[in-house]
């Protein structure tokens, strides 16, 4: 199953609901394109909802890092929402858990952008 992404606007934040696989190839390319597109539109507050991500590999983790860096370099913020246990564990193992701002409540995640 490939990656699917649905984009919603909540207040000033772009929420991206991602499902499926973020892996080398199509999934990573899709995510990269999506972030580039949002930054091109001037949307610099991005919340990636990973609740329905079934599989992520090292390339997918790299793509999350790339997205984080791209948004940060534009003066924006990229945060993560609803990690599955597998994604949570991978971010801990790779020591990226402290790099990302991670939330498990969408309303609180949205308001954290507004406070920033």
Partner 1 sequence: MTSEPSVVEVTLESDLKNLEVAEEIVRRVAGTAGFGEESEHQIEMAVHESMINAIWHGNKNDASKRVWLRFEIYKDRLEIHIRDQGVGFNISEVPDPCSEDNLLKVSGRGIFLIRTFMDEFHVKHLPGSGTEVTLVKRIDPAQQPK
Which residues are near partner 1 by CB under 8 A? 23-25, 57-59, 61-63, 65-66, 68-69, 86, 90, 93-96, 99
Nearer to partner 1, 9 or 25 (CB): 25
> Measured from the CB atom, is 10 or 70 closer to partner 1?
70
Beta carbon of residue 62, minimum distance to partner 1 (angstroms, whole number) = 4
Task: Supply the minimum distance, in Å, between the C-beta of residue 106 and partner 1.
Answer: 26
DSSP states along the chain: ---EEEEEEETTEEEEEEEEEE-TTHHHHHHHHHHHHHHHTT--EEEEEEEEEEEE-HHHHHHHHHHHHHHHHTT-EEEEE---HHHHHHHHHTT-TTTSEEES-HHHHHHHHHH-
Q: How far is the CB of 7 from partner 1 (least distance, A)?
A: 23
Minimum CB distance to partner 1 smaller for 84 or for 111: 84
Q: From the CB of 57, what's the least distance to partner 1, in Å?
A: 6
List the structure tokens of 33.
């394109």
CB 39 within 8 A of CB 77: no
């Amino acid at each position: 199953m490939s990656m699917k992404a649905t984009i919603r606007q909540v207040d000033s934040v772009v929420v991206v609901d991602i499902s499926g696989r973020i892996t080398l190839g199509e999934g990573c390319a899709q995510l990269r394109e999506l972030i580039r597109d949002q930054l091109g539109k001037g949307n610099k507050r991005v919340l990636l909802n990973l609740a329905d991500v079934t599989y992520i590999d090292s390339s997918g983790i790299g793509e999350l890092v790339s997205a984080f860096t791209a948004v940060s370099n534009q003066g924006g913020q990229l945060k993560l929402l609803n990690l599955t246990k597998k994604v949570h564990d991978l971010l801990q193992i790779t020591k990226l858990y402290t790099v990302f701002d991670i939330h498990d409540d969408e309303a609180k995640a949205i308001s954290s952008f507004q406070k920033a």
